[in-house]
Amino acid sequence: MTDLISRTPGALADAERWTAHNYHPLPVVVAGAEGAWVTDVDGKRYLDFLAGYSALNFGHRHPALIAAAHAQLDRLTLTSRAFVHDQFASFCQGLAELCGKDLVLPMNTGAEAVETGIKVARKWGYQVKGVPQDQAEIVVAANNFHGRTTTIISFSTDPEARNDFGPYTPGFTIIPYGDPAALESAIGPNTVAVLLEPIQGEAGVLVPPPGYFTTVRELCTASNVLLIADEIQSGLGRTGKTFAIDHEHVTPDMYLLGKALGGGIVPVSAVAADRAVLGVLRPGEHGSTFGGNPLACAVGAEVVKLLQTGGFQQRSAELGAHLHARLGALIGHGVLEVRGRGLWAGVDIDPALMTGRQAVERLADRGILAKDTHGSTIRLAPPLVITADEIDHAVSQLEAVLR
């Protein structure tokens, strides 16, 4: 290997030459993957501690998911929603039952699920709650990340996501995350929904104070306001529960799902809610050519089956406790704070030592892939198929980087 010319620089140069610069990727060019490991174009292996921002909760190329995709590829891949295909009802039923809801509306990307939730909440507000037309308000939290469409960035507080993309969509009230008093003050007669992440991932894996969502649920119920849980990153086993909001035994009116729902194979997202909410939609009011396509439904149905056993949730809880114990031992030794639940952690690196970007670059040199956010924070979110020994290896590499 040492005598061979590396293919990485050329591949990176080609990507830089031919693609818009909307990402700042690490200098790694992945060519293959299995389980919790990826291999680059030069044959170097890396332990994946990002898992596609939770899109790869079940690891790379999970055998059951790959088998479902292969079987469907040989039969039918797309019909559009102009017709019903034979995978559609079983996927929707399985996901609805997993969520404890009446109905599911499948889409493709997480941002589409959020946009769907916004539209449904507004229409519900006008038709059911009786809010005057065009006066619906949705309460959101500062430092949120729900996607990058023009409507979604209209209620972002991240300058990189928002600046120079106006004019912005009205109808949103931004409050501090984790502050029940601020929420109570923000809810008014025209409020139709409260849209929150049970854990704010992009902000640095911020966990709200204990009891926060219990109070949010009580306030929403008292004011006839929909509670929308954006579980696109936090849901489907990531935190040791099926949904992160389950840690407070709270049931939202609407789940927004994505990422892991596609098994790391195809983009799949969905909104799940009861008929009293999702039932406000009528034909022609919302849709997607690829939403709920046969391939997506075949993979998504298999994802639901994996979650129905509870095994992945248990792995995340048990291995997450191990991960957080190992990371907690680094506090005071180059780490200022560790946050998170299950196999999800935000690690604040001492900025006197290095930036988050420098930390993840040095981890990559040591064969560990992670991602920085907001200056000095790195996010760790390994696939749920990871082992305790692999966690120990990754944390040991982080410890070495911080020396």
Q: Kindly list the strands in the beta sheet with 30-34, ordered across the sheet, starting from the edge strand earlier in the chain.
A: 30-34, 37-40, 45-48, 368-369
Residue from 136, 137, 164, 140 nearest 152 by CA: 140
Residue that is written with structure tokens 């120079």 in the block: 164
Amino acid at 381: A
| Known catalytic membership, residue 230 | yes
Which of these is catalytic: 101, 129, 259, 371?
259
| Cross-strand pairs, 347 | 338, 378
Residue that is written with structure tokens 């704070």 in the block: 337
Tokens of 85: 């295909």
- Residue 368 backbone phi and psi in degrees, to 5: -125, 125
Cα distance between residue 402 and residue 18, in whole Å: 35
Which of these is catalytic: 230, 253, 348, 372?
230
CA triple 315-56-106, angle to 5 deg: 110
CA 210, 213, 214, 216 dihedral sign is positive
Helices 294-308 and 311-328, axial angle in degrees (round to 10)? 70
- Residue 230 backbone phi and psi in degrees, to 5: -85, 95
Q: What 3-state class would DSSP assign to 138?
A: strand
Which of these is catalytic: 49, 58, 88, 145?
145
| Known catalytic membership, residue 119 | no
| Known catalytic membership, residue 305 | no
| Active site members | 145, 230, 259
